[in-house]
Amino acid sequence: MIATGLDILLRKSEHFQNRKIGLIVNQSSVTPELNYSWNALKERGIQVKMIFSPEHGLFATEQDQIAVNYQPELGCEMVSLYGDSAESLLPDKALLDNIDLILFDIQDVGSRYYTYINTLALFMEAVDSMDIEIMVLDRPNPLGGTIVEGPLLDPAFRSFVGIFPVPVRHGLTAGELALFYRDIKKLDINLSVIKMEGWQRSMLFPETGLPWIPPSPNMPTFATAEVYPGMCLFEGINASEGRGTTTPFQLSGAPFIKPDDLARRCRAYGLEGVLFRPVWFKPTFHKFCNSVIGGLWLQVTDHSRFRSFATGVAMTAALHELYPEELQFITSVYEFNDRIPAFDLLAGNSTIRNSILKGCDTSLLLDSWRGDEAGFLQVKTDFHLYE
């Protein structure tokens, strides 16, 4: 089993006895014995003055895009970094007057959309030129560190689901992403990373020996994280991404879908490493709550060949091809943004949605971001901390 950045820090905890510490953490910040970081630090005589919690809250009690108001009592000040406005995503600088070290320790899932890494990026911007150290306690990228997939983020589409100018599946750890962001933004910050021991870029999460702690309410398993880079796109259309079921993102569907027809069309794309199983299911909350709807279950058969983002785009194209009158791209407020459709914020551009609407050749569309992937594969090696 590998040792995380938290494990390494706890081995030398005597160096942090006199620091004024704030944590950016949630329930995934645990030791191998499943002791929460804030308790493990306290047991070693390290005082935590403040805990900042990300979207969903410290114990992932809130669903997506719900302001976090409840905070448990843990003997220190609790601050939510996800409220009811975009301003709530940034720390109040007055709160930082009595802190000289921020520890970030949250399990990421390897996708540009996932907001915890974006919370880290915004915090880094907020402390630019301040006398505060940010230390990332590194954890594995569950999807490994070798494969990248999807287009780079167009800066015009920056949002809380897209801050890093990286492909959707970026192949970096949180620590590597932080180093990358400091460099490209030229931030004047005191940033350090406590590296893991034993992690290799080829490892998927099941190979780490670490327990999977669901980092958010709809990320119950590694299998969920594996399909998430593509199926999160369904948050931007009028189809369920499986929220309200026990297998979110692996399941998707809508009332207008005929499962066998959709499965047949998706199979025709020749996507590798995945099978499409026609299903009917009933979400218990979120889209189409308590309605039986048709859709697909994604079964990954080959981790090395499966391309989640391409699969999500292809499935969206298939929906438009089969149900052009029924499929809609959502234009309501999404992650505090009411100007750009949610699908475009997730994709990082409007090209993909427009191409689907124009009925372009799907195979050409799926090849359109190969250049971005190749370019980023070269760039990212400058920030690798692991072989």
Q: What is the per-residue pLDDT for 104?
A: 98
Instruction: pLDDT band for 69, please (50, 70, 90 cuts).
Output: confident
CATH assignment at residue 294: 3.90.1150.140
Express as a percent the part of the chain with pLDDT over 90: 94
Domain boundary among 189, 217, 245: 217
Range of the domain at 295: 222-373
Which residue is associated with the tokens 């910040």?
A: 29
Residues 305-332 as b or e (16 or more Cβ within 10 Å = b): ebbbbbbbbbbbbbbbebbeeebebbee
Identify whether the C-beta of residue 257 lies closer than 8 Å to the C-beta of residue 239: yes
Tell me, yes or no, whether 303 and 357 share the same domain.
yes
Q: Which of 101, 116, 97 is nearest to 46 (CA)?
A: 101
What is the spatial distance between Cα 163 and Cα 155, in angstroms, rounded to a whole number?
Answer: 8
| pLDDT, tens digit (0-9, with 9 covering 90-100), for 290-320 | 999 999 999 999 999 999 999 999 999 999 9
Instruction: Tell me the pLDDT tens digit for each residue of 250-298.
Output: 999 999 999 999 999 999 999 999 999 999 999 999 999 999 999 999 9
Condensed to tens digits (0 to 9), the pLDDT of residues 22-37 reads 999 999 999 999 999 9
Spatial separation of the C-alpha atoms in residues 190 and 197, rounded to whole Å: 23
Both tokens assigned to 121:
């990026």
Same-domain status, 139 and 268: no
Using CA atoms, how far apart are residues 218 and 221, in angstroms rounded to an integer?
A: 9
**How does pLDDT run across 185-235, given as a tens digit for each residue?**
999 999 999 999 999 999 999 999 999 999 999 999 999 999 999 999 999
pLDDT of residue 67: 87
- Residue in the structure block whose two tokens are 């009690």: 61
pTM over 0.75: yes
How many domains in the chain? 2
What per-residue confidence (pLDDT) applies to 132?
97
In this prediction, residue 70 carries a pLDDT of 76
Coil, helix or strand at residue 212: coil
163 and 271 fall within a common domain: no
Q: Which amino acid is at 263?
A: A
Which residue among 202, 217, 232 closes a domain? 217
Helix axes 259-267, 308-322, angle to 10 degrees: 130
- Collapse the DSSP code of 179 into the 3-class scheme (helix H, G, I; strand E, B; otherwise coil) and give the result: helix
The overall average pLDDT reported for the chain is 97
Cβ neighbors of 378 (< 8 A, separation 6 or more) are none
